[in-house]
Homo-oligomer: A and B are copies of this chain.
Amino acid sequence: MISKKKKVSIYDIAQRLGVSASTVSRALQDHHSIGAEMKQLVRKTAEEMDYKPNRVALSLKLGKNNAIGVLVPHINRNFFSSVIEGIQQTAAEKGYDVLICQSNESYSRECQLLSALSQGKVDGVIASIAAGTQDVAHFNRLEQYGIPLVLFDRVSPEIPAAMKVVVNDYRGAYQVVEHLYNQGCRRIFHYAGPQHVSVWKHRLEGYCDAMKDLGLKTGRESIVYGEDMVREEGERLIREVMRMKRKPDAIFFTSDFVALGALVEMKKQGLSAPDDIAVVGFANEPFDEWITPSLTSVEQYSCRMGELVAKMLIDKIDGETPGDIVIEPQLIVRESSRKNKE
């Protein structure tokens, strides 16, 4: 390997030109106190010498990194990678770098990562809380260090200083039940997620209220609590349902993946959706429209969510105090729940 070229600094330029470093610095910043010819000359020389400003030095000096940290449960999940895409987009436009971390849904990992993010590399943090997290004190600590925090999707009321961007999960769930009701379903079950996670809690509330408002009963049997929200849980549920004397005529899953498992198992068991049991998911994963039957779900506008959340954080970094945002979700009706063919 040939010589690793020494990086060129403003001092090198200054020396070559016989001026001081500050002149070079100012010229490069287009400072008004520098003459046009000088600016021209400096810029030309910088170009020639292939000068690149050192952003680390800049950060240290200015106390500003132009970087934001993003902490999510998983990168490789359509919802989160879409949000990240949105964050990236907006951040890049505003000149911010994006530092990515994943908690793997683990509380201890989340603590570690937040602590690392407090070590001065980022100007603010965007996060979505891990499923394994019950105590959120570590998030509040961030603000103590003066690092603005914006939460999205999985939020907590116990982090007062954080701004929030969420989907109206309550409304989304409510609409799902209404839709199922309109399709003629009356015995509607709900597969709920762990209740310490905000989104799953709100969806359950939406389900319960809608059922009540429509005069439908929700009993012990009609609400099932999931754990990891993976495909296998959906398959398991269907096997359980097969053993029930009074089967549901619809199941509203709080996750597309669990719903997918259910659809697969239903096929295996000779049950049809929507005719035997209507099925609805949540999150509108891309595969929803490709599977058979295609899966009714709730769109959360994840990419847009990322854009909003990034904009909100950057505004906060700039000293503004934007308000929380609630995104209205949209029910996407597909084959798995459409009984009235119109």
User: Interface on A for B, CB 8 Å cutoff?
Assistant: 1, 4-5, 7, 50, 52-57, 59-60, 65, 67, 74-78, 81-82, 84-85, 88-89, 92, 97-102, 115-116, 118-121, 144-146, 260, 264, 286-287, 290-292, 303, 321
Beta-carbon contact of A120 and B75 below 8 Å:
no
Closest to A293 in B: B292
Minimum distance in angstroms from A47 CB to a CB of chain B:
13
Chain B residues whose CB sits within 8 angstroms of the CB of A291 once the complex forms? 287, 290-292
A96 to chain B, nearest CB (A): 11
Interface majority SS on A: helix, strand, loop or mixed?
Answer: mixed
Q: Which chain B positions have C-beta within 8 A of A76?
A: 78, 81-82, 84-85, 303
B65 and A74 contacting across the interface, CB-CB below 8 Å = no
| Contact partners of A60 in chain B: CB under 8 A | 54, 56-57, 60
6 new A-B contacts, CB < 8 A, other than A55-B119, A97-B121, are A4-B146, A75-B85, A89-B102, A97-B116, A98-B100, A287-B287
Whether B92 lies near A84 (C-beta < 8 A) is no
Contact between chains at A120 and B56 (CB < 8 Å): yes
Residue on B nearest A286 in the bound complex, by CB = B287
Q: Is the CB of A99 within 8 A of B102?
A: no
A292 in complex: contacting residue of B1, B144, B292, CB < 8 Å: B292
Q: How far is the CA of A146 from the CA of B5 in the complex (A)?
A: 7
The listed residue (B52, B92, B287) touching A118 by CB distance below 8 A is B52
In the complex, A7 Cα to B99 Cα: how many Å? 21
CA A78 to CA B286, docked complex, whole Å: 11
Decide: B101 and A99 in contact? CB cutoff 8 A.
no
Most chain B beta-carbon contacts within 10 A, residue among A56, A74, A81, A116: A56
